[in-house]
Amino acid sequence: MSSAEQYLKPEVIQNIARLDLRAKFIVEGFLTGLHTSPFQGFSVEFSEHRRYNPGDDPKDIDWQVFARTDRIYVKRYQAETNITGYVLMDLSRSMAYTYRQNLTKFDYCICLAAAISYLMVHQQDPVGLITFGEELRQSLPARSRRSHLGNILSVLQQSTPEGETHIGANLQRIAGMIKNRSLLMLMSDLLTDPDEVIDSLRMLRYAGHDVILFHVLDEAEVTFPFSGSVDLVEPESDDHQIVDAAGIRADYLDALNELRTRYREECFSLGADYVALDTSMPFDKALTEYLYQRQARF
């Protein structure tokens, strides 16, 4: 396994204490991997170019790129390349759950949020942050300055997952806050009524926003590795239920697959992206989805 791939694995990232270094290592490992993968065209360098089209001004051709690739690209102007993004972070108490991994769902999400923010700022794309639980908690406007990245990381590091969440209601509030078309990246375990979430996603799409839904679960929530009698606790209400793990495993996994399938199909019908993740998965899948969305905008 290459060092770049190592940097994308949660069990390696968890050994790095500082969030800024986690973000840097994730992004640099990811970009290093892109140069040896089929996704070379998604590198930071090419995000500032597009293929030459008849009618383009020949003065805009980047001849250095042509010399390396034998393909004609023109440089985009800043107005063409900038994409405004907002990370929408669920801070409900269920996000603090972990079974075996040292990274909770919340830890995984803030690493992912930090990496995407790092990548956007280094591409000179404005990025903002909105955190929420039952209500909206903190909001940072979208900025592209390097110093703004420090503000985002500071808020992420100081945030604590606690209390309940009202995802649908908060997405409606966010739709009223963000007036200009933006890329909205929701990070949540989605342990709430899916009807309310889907209705709110529909509202965001109707308002012209692009949406990536990162559905992040703990590895144990996806694999259900339990045996014997298990005391299941609803994290946001503290309700307990003792069950026989073997007796409910198949039904549980079927219900989870049905939920993920519903979100995937609903997002597809809305023109939104759905990314199913768990805390054991390398971060490159999520970053690739972000770059796919970025390229699709132009």
Query: Where residue 262 sits, what CATH number does that domain have?
Result: 3.40.50.410
Predicted structure pTM score = 0.79
Regarding whether 284 and 166 lie in a shared domain, the answer is yes
Q: CA-CA distance, 145 to 154, in Å (whole number)?
A: 15
Bridge-based pairing state of the strands 229-233 and 240-244:
antiparallel
Q: Is residue 10 part of a domain?
A: yes
Instruction: Say what the pLDDT of residue 50 is.
Output: 64
Q: Are residues 97 and 67 in the same domain?
A: no
Do both 57 and 99 map to the same domain?
no
pLDDT of residue 75: 66
Same domain (yes/no): 233, 159:
yes
Asked if 75 and 88 sit in the same domain, the reply is no
Same domain membership, residue 117 and residue 38:
no
pLDDT at 2: 42
In the chain, the number of structural domains is: 2
Which of 38, 61, 79 corresponds to the end of one domain?
Answer: 79
Domain boundary among 49, 64, 79: 79
If asked whether residues 75 and 92 sit together in one domain, one would say no
47 lies in the same domain as 189 = no
- Is the same domain home to 214 and 89? yes
Domain residues for 60? 3-14+25-79
Divide the 298 residues of the chain into consecutive groups of 10 and give the mean pLDDT of each group.
54 76 79 51 47 72 71 61 88 92 89 91 90 95 92 93 93 93 95 95 94 94 86 67 82 95 95 91 81 60
The verdict on 90 and 144 lying in the same domain is yes
Report in angstroms the alpha-carbon separations of 156 from 90, 121, 122, 196, 269: 11, 16, 19, 26, 32
pLDDT at 43: 38
Mark whether 140 and 56 lie in a shared domain: no
Please check whether residue 20 lies inside any domain of the structure.
no
Residue 263 lies in a domain: yes
Same domain, 208 and 283: yes
